[in-house]
């Protein structure tokens, strides 16, 4: 019999559920071995993600985790067609869980099928980022932590999953650097400067000591009980402040990361440097930000070029004014 693959985590509910799911696909749905193998690969990706996040069964997975999983898969460079099939695999697994899973469910809800065109990431304007980052009040330990957390996400572009595993030893404020362990155990060093460095220094001096319960705790970001903050905890912090300023509907776990990359590109940073900063294995993954910035470039053109008046999408009367007084005297 064909091996079902390396579905790890024998102390969790996933291996048994996945084996039963594959039997269900063969016996009840009559799918070919090739199709079943595709489902197996998709579900192995889900299990790998779940176990990394400490999710021991489908019932422990929230909607935010499903969204983050699909975003991470998109970032690995999976084609839109593969992402659509992955979504179909999740739906098939959900149907199996409802039928035979003993009450376990995945919170798919109205999760859409990805179109066969790469979806542009959600990006905040610089003004929106500034408003969001100003929300945490640094009057207590949690306020200092939250300010440092948001500034770090936007100031370094790290993933939430990377941020929660940062230890004190990974941060070197004197050198303005942070060592990050990314996907595939790829380590990278990202610069930390300006407001992120200031917020981190304030948190380390006045916030973290009040949160820490043990000198042996090496996690950089702590929760209110003194333990390492979880991905769910970070996402809860982000959503709390996003909701406060009316940005909740536009936020995903990667929105600050996407905004970081887009703002760098719009300010002239080479795509290859952004690839290194984000920890992308291939520049083809980073190239999606060129599509985001193309809209920005069009807006700059419409505002700035003297002959842009009448361009499709330009409101009447907008664009630069060009009069005879502006013309050179020759």
Decide if pLDDT at 252 tops 60. Answer: yes
User: What is the structure's pLDDT at 292?
Assistant: 66
Task: Give the C-alpha separation, 47 to 33, whole Å.
Answer: 20
Report domain extents, the chain: 14-100, 127-250
Residues serving a catalytic function are 159, 183, 254, 257, 280, 289
Identify the band that residue 119 occupies on the pLDDT scale cut at 50, 70 and 90. Answer: low
Which of 307 and 18 is assigned the larger pLDDT?
18
DSSP structure string for 210-232: HH-S-TT--BSSB-TTSSBPPHH
Least confident of 101-105, 134-138, 178-182: 101-105
Q: Please say whether the beta carbons of 233 and 70 come within 8 A.
A: no
Of 3.90.1010.10, 3.40.1160.10, 3.40.50.10490, 1.10.150.130, the CATH number of 14-100 is 1.10.150.130
Most confident of 94-98, 112-116, 215-219: 215-219
User: What is the structure's pLDDT at 16?
Assistant: 87
- Closest alpha carbon to 126 in 278, 301, 256, 286: 256
Task: Give the C-alpha separation, 230 to 222, whole Å.
Answer: 9
DSSP structure string for 198-212: HHHHHIIIIIHHHH-
Q: Are 14-100 and 127-250 in the same CATH fold?
A: no
User: What is the structure's pLDDT at 302?
Assistant: 67
Q: What is the mean pLDDT of residues 108-114?
A: 57
Encode pLDDT of 269-281 as tens digits. Answer: 888 899 999 988 7
Residue whose structure tokens are 């079943």 = 36
Q: Please say whether the beta carbons of 54 and 14 come within 8 A.
A: no
User: What is the structure's pLDDT at 319?
Assistant: 43
Least confident of 182-186, 219-223, 229-233: 182-186
Token readout for 165 is: 């595993």
User: What is the structure's pLDDT at 57?
Assistant: 84
Which of 14 and 74 is assigned the larger pLDDT?
14
CATH superfamily of 127-250: Intergrase catalytic core (1.10.443.10)
Least confident of 74-78, 221-225, 292-296: 292-296
* pLDDT above 90 coverage of the chain, percent: 39
Q: Please say whether the beta carbons of 188 and 180 come within 8 A.
A: yes
pLDDT, mean over the chain: 81
User: What is the structure's pLDDT at 294?
Assistant: 65
User: What is the structure's pLDDT at 287?
Assistant: 79
Decide if pLDDT at 21 tops 80. Answer: yes
pTM over 0.85: no
Residue whose structure tokens are 């021991």 = 56
Encode pLDDT of 72-93 as tens digits. Answer: 887 776 777 788 888 888 888 8
């Amino acid at each position: 019999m064909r091996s079902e693959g390396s579905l790890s985590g024998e102390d969790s509910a996933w291996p048994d559920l996945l084996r039963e799911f594959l039997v269900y696909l063969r016996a009840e749905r009559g799918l070919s071995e090739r199709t079943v193998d595709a489902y197996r690969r998709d579900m192995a990706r889900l299990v790998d993600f779940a176990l990394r996040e400490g999710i021991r069964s489908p019932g422990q997975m929230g909607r935010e985790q499903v969204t983050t999983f699909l975003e991470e898969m998109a970032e690995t460079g999976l084609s839109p067609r593969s992402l659509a099939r992955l979504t179909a695999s999740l739906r098939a697994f959900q149907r199996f869980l409802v039928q035979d899973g003993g009450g376990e469910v995945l919170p798919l809800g109205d999760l859409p099928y990805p179109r066969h065109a790469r979806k542009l990431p959600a990006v905040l304007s610089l003004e929106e980022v500034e408003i969001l980052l100003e929300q945490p009040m640094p009057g207590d330990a949690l306020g200092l932590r939250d300010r440092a957390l948001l500034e770090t996400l936007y100031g370094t572009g790290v993933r939430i999953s990377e941020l929660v595993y940062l230890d004190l030893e990974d941060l070197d404020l004197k050198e303005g650097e942070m060592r990050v362990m990314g996907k595939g155990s790829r380590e990278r060093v990202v610069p930390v400067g300006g407001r992120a460095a200031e917020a981190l220094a304030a948190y380390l001096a006045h916030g973290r000591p009040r949160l820490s319960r043990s000198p042996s705790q090496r996690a950089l970001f702590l929760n209110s009980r003194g333990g390492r903050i979880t991905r769910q905890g970070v996402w809860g912090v982000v959503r709390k402040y996003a909701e406060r300023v009316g940005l909740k509907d536009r936020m995903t776990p990667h929105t600050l990361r996407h905004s970081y990359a887009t703002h760098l590109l719009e300010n002239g940073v080479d795509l290859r440097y952004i690839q290194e900063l984000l920890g992308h294995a291939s520049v083809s993954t980073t190239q999606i930000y060129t599509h985001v910035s193309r809209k920005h470039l069009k807006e700059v053109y419409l505002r700035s070029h003297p002959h842009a008046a009448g361009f499709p999408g330009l409101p009447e009367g907008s664009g630069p004014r060009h009069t005879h007084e502006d013309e050179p005297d020759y």
